[in-house]
A and B are shown apart, each in its own frame.
Chain A
Amino acid sequence: MDIKFSAEDIAFRDEVRGFFVAEYEGDASTRLSDNSATDYKSAIVGWQKKLHAKGWIAPGWPKEYGGTGWSSTQKFIYETERGLAGIPDVVPFGLKMVAPVIYTFGTEEQKARFLPRILNSEDWWCQGYSEPGAGSDLAALSTSADYAGDNYIVNGRKIWTTFAQYADWIFCLVRTSKGIRRQEGISFLLIDMNTPGITIKPIVTIDGKHSLNEVLFEDVAVPIENLIGEQDKGWTYAKALLAHERTGMAEVADSKRMLEGLKQRATTEINGGKPMIEDPVFQMRMSDIEMELMALEYTELRVFASMADGGMPGPESSLLKIKGTEISQAIHELQLQLAANYGGALPGDLSSDELGHDFAAEARGKYMYGRAATIYGGSNEVQRNVIAKAVLGL
């Protein structure tokens, strides 16, 4: 019962810290603070190329495909340092979502063709899962792929596609046959975004910004060599990917950093001549979150420890997504509460001096966009269904 790191682990932590300080300097950190800014793509790709040059772009991958070969403790340290330094995670669609499917289920040709370009951020990927009629009930998807000689002909609509406007490729779940169970007959296809017949329609979200899209497919011809694994078995591959995705969703270090920021702001926001951090009611609201986060930090450590010897994560892992997103939303809420009546302002070109406040716009945006966290990646209600079935046996 202890969390002592070995001397090697501490040396590793110092190396990570040193690299972040040296390489993630002012420019990248400013440019990456807003993921709807016009130069966001070049900024994040630039940062990812630095990580690639260092060999740290894909800690989750097996070493033979370009992974780091780190122990689970080292992966934990890396994630923690990244979050505490306020560095955004890599764009997950290529590196964390489609790549594991490709190196696990893909052919040698597919691995050679796609993996290096994902590693060096040459290709930008997006995810084509959700459809207007298939959200939490993903197996209801109806985008069709009909086999025709050397190609599949794809027709249908995908929705909530993050950063489709930047993407070179999209990985899609499509219906190739009508099986007895809905989950049968779904296939996993890789589609070049430049193929004729693909249209992207932007979706503006309640934060007033554009990161989501609808992607329409009209008689889009996809070569059969872009099929992953066997036709009609795509659901199995996608499910394997979801398990891979889950442990990274607690974002404990990111929330710790946000909470420190909140406390800082609570010392400068004044009410009745006193800083908000001295308000006993506000203190209770902050500690409700801080205590939950202190516990979640150890829940995450327990998950890492359980996987240290190559074991499977235990039941404690299943709550990481739910609690992690609830905590980050709760912090966003308090940030907005701190901004008081400035919170609704759309200041446009006004400077913070002219507006009278310096973080209201950011707090509003984070709160609004942050509502998505309990919806995406399997809504928190779906996560509860999963725990009820898989952990509690209900």
Chain B
Amino acid sequence: MNFEFSEEQIMIKDSVSRFVREQYDFDARRGIIESDDGISREFWSMFAELGWLSVPFSEEYGGFGGNVVDIAAVMEEMGKGIVVEPFASTVVVFGGLLSAASNSDLKSQIIPSIIEGNCLGSFAHMEPQSRYEMSDVSTTATASAGGYTLSGVKTVVTNGGTANKFIVSARTSGEQFDRNGVSLFMVDTAAPGVEVKAYKMMDGQSAATLMLTDVAVNQSDLLNTAGEGMDLIDQVMPQILIGLSAEALGIMATLNTLTVEYSKTRQQFGAPIGSFQVLQHRMVDTFMGCEQTKSMLYRALCESKSVVEGETDAVALAKTVHALKATVARYGKIIGEEAIQLHGGIGMTDELNIGHYVKRLMMINTSYGDGDFHQKAFNQLSYSG
């Protein structure tokens, strides 16, 4: 039994942490968000040189061969700096789906370009009607000579404005809510019929609506067997949710630290406000919320490793991951709101970092299912049948 990171994991964690401390302060981040691109290509190339973009990929494709614990280690540190460069979108989500795919030509073609920093990827899945339901897909993929034609609309596509490759989900068979019949295609941003309407999210990240009009794709652009895309999504979802939760944990810990420090210096009624018991108890509650979230993350990491090694059941892991995302939602909300409240007026300002951490936490909450969605899924697994 141990909850330590390995030496390699500590090295990469330290390297991300040093970057955030030394090169990614709040003003630097603001400059990046306000730039035309919205991300720093320079930093992205640096991430590639430092090997961060190779973390979860297999050695076969030039990767580091890491696992979900390595991803969590990187994501937690990125959270502490609310790094806007699309690591989660490109490496964890897009890269995760690609890694799990069976199409090895596609993998050997694209994974090395992710690792080199040349491919920015995005998963275009959500639709105007779908909310959080992953199998609600109405974008169509109609069979044509040698391939398919894609038509439909994808919304709130994370990193949509900067990505040059999309993994697009579309229906090759079945009805709107059917699990079977959803297929995943690799689509180039520049492909004819792809229109990207980019905009910004409140956490500084880019997003887009993707209009697909008779986009021609080949059989070889399918990530795995046609109609079995949901299997791939289900397989990768724990890693996605764990990665985002680790990022959230980094944010929550940072918000708590900043708030406690502020309460020691802010004077009112002739004393630091941190000396008031009513505020102390609230900061203890947010401290406990953060520790509980960390414990849930560690639980998910331990169980993921066991599942990969064939030792525990996937249902237990699924329950834990739902519980993790719901816990992140619950305590993330409390910690974010308390951070603003305890900072008082200054916490309301755009000039202070607090609000920006809170906004990223809020966006993590609504990524791939909010707290209520995951708690209901947890209930389904725990109390039915």
Give residues in A with beta carbon < 8 Å to B.
1-5, 73, 263, 266, 277-278, 280, 283-284, 286-288, 290-292, 294-299, 301-302, 304-305, 308, 315-316, 319, 322-323, 381, 384-385, 387-388, 391-394
Contact = CB atoms under 8 A, between A and B. Distances in A.
A304 B326 contact: no
Interface stretch (B18-26, B123-131, B299-307): B299-307
Interface in B55-113: 69
Q: Which 9 A-B pairs have the closest CB atoms?
A: A298-B295, A388-B280, A283-B379, A295-B292, A291-B323, A299-B295, A295-B296, A319-B288, A384-B284
Given A284-B375, A385-B280, A388-B283, A302 B302 contact: no
User: For the complex, would chain B's binding face be called helix, strand, loop or mixed by DSSP majority?
Assistant: helix
B320 interface: yes
Given A305-B1, A308-B1, A385-B277, A278 B260 contact: no
Size bin of chain B's contact surface:
35 or more
B260 A393 contact: yes
Given A301-B1, A316-B291, A392 B299 contact: no
A1 B3 contact: yes
B368 interface: no
Contact of B288 (A1, A304, A322): A322
9 contacts: A1-B4, A1-B301, A278-B383, A286-B379, A287-B326, A287-B379, A291-B378, A301-B295, A315-B287
Contacts of B306: 2
Contact of B281 (A5, A280, A295, A388): A388
Given A3-B1, A385-B281, 15 more contacts: A1-B2, A1-B6, A1-B301, A1-B305, A73-B1, A283-B383, A286-B379, A298-B296, A319-B288, A323-B292, A384-B281, A385-B277, A385-B280, A388-B277, A388-B283
B293 interface: yes
B372 to A, nearest CB: 9
Contacts of B6: 1
B54 interface: no
Given A2-B2, A263-B383, A302-B295, A392 B378 contact: no
A301 B3 contact: yes
Contacts of B384: 278
A319 B383 contact: no
Given A263-B383, A305-B2, A315-B291, A388 B284 contact: yes
Contact of B260 (A266, A287, A392): A392
B224 interface: no
Contacts of A302: 3, 295, 298
A193 B84 CA distance: 68
A292 B281 CA distance: 19
B382 interface: yes
A332 B145 CA distance: 65
Contact of A392 (B287, B296, B298): B287
A3 B384 CA distance: 28
B327 interface: yes
